[in-house]
Structures are given as C-alpha cells and as structure tokens.
Amino acid sequence: MASWDLYVIITTKLGGGRPTLELVREALAGGATAIQLREKDLPARELVELGREIRKLTRAAGATFIINDRLDVVLAVEADGVHIGQEDLPARVARELLGSGKILGVSTGTVTEARQAVADGADYLGVGSIYATSSKGDAGEPIGLAGLKAIRAAVTIPVIAIGGINNDNAAEVIAAGADGIAVLSAVIGAPDVAAAARELLAAVRQSRQ
C-alpha cells in the first residue's frame, strides 16, 4: 500500500545544479514516501538509465516510484506507476496500456476533471495548484483550500495536494482533506534536501494527530 504523505517531485533544474540521484538520495533520507521523476527534456535512453538507478534507491527505501508522462519508461524500469496531466495521454488509454498492476496518477484542478479521472481508472489525484507557485509553469490559477475540499468531497481515491506547499501551510492542506502533499522546490530547492523533507513530513504527520 503506497503512502502519499510526502511525494517529492524530482526535476533537476530546480535542484541548484546537484545531480539527480543525489537529490533522490537526500529526499529519501529525509523520509519521502514517494518520488516522481519529472524530466521532460531528457532523451528516453537517459531517462531509462536514470530511472533504473532511482528504482533501486526507492525500492531500498520502501518508497513508491512514479514517472511523469512516460509510460514506456515506466515499463522499462519497472517503476510503480505513471503520472499524467490533462494535456498528456488520456487517462483511460494510459490505464489500458498500464494494466491493473501499476499506479495511475492524474493531475486535476476541478471536480469535473477529478470525477473523470476516477472514471478513467486513476488510483490517485494530484490536485492543485493549491497556492501560487513558480515551480511549475503550467500550474494555472490556484484553486485554494476551497477547491481542494470540493474535490476531496467528490472522490474516494487518494488526493495529493500540490502547488506552493511548505512548512507554513502543510497542516492546513492536510486539514482540508489531502492525503498527502507533493512538493518540488520546497524540498529539492532547499540547501539541505534531507532536512527539508524531514520537516515537511513531520508537519504532515503532526497535523493528523
């Protein structure tokens, strides 16, 4: 059973020039429960080589490994699943190609999108952007906690909040119904990646108590 408490998205351009595998190791050392590899500009061969190394690290740490968008790479490196956006491969097609043994995550920002993703076979939703963020250029206008609550009320699968989440607001995001938080710069952009992950994970888990 996957834990979505702290879902760290790895995109090297936000990592301050540090190697991708170093970012992954440090995020896992800090307790990241899921890692997503999001490298849209890397050639397939490099993605596969990188993915195989990350697969080893996540397996050793007991963390879930998701790859953004690339079903072929998911299958090649035996990742746990794929995450797709609204402009990517249709979710129902991804579900058919993946089969039932892999995880399918879908980005959603409205109740309509969320319900459609569930109907198409999504296993979890990436919901946002909750707050304004500069980490993701196509994030769109923030949906806020009200948008998160509406989607949470509309679906029964796990909801992972994304967009502008940090130590100051993680607790209110969990209180609004998120099953976990997805972060980019709040962890991989921090000077100490492991410490940043540790603090965010603690904030998520304490907010449930």
Q: Residues with catalytic annotation?
A: 38, 107, 136
Measured CA to CA, the distance from residue 35 to residue 54 in angstroms comes to 9
Measured CA to CA, the distance from residue 148 to residue 77 in angstroms comes to 33
Contact 73, 50 (CB under 8 A): no
- Number of alpha carbons in the 13 Å side-chain half-sphere of residue 71: 17
Measured CA to CA, the distance from residue 92 to residue 167 in angstroms comes to 35
Sequential DSSP letters for 64-127: EEEEES-HHHHHHHT-SEEEE-TTSS-HHHHHHHH-TTSEEEEEESSHHHHHHHHHTT-SEEEE
Q: In terms of C-beta distances under 8 Å and separation of at least 24 residues, what long-range contacts does 11-14 make, across chains too?
A: 11/38, 11/39, 11/184, 11/188, 12/39, 14/135, 14/184, 14/185, 14/188, 14/189
Measured CA to CA, the distance from residue 191 to residue 186 in angstroms comes to 10
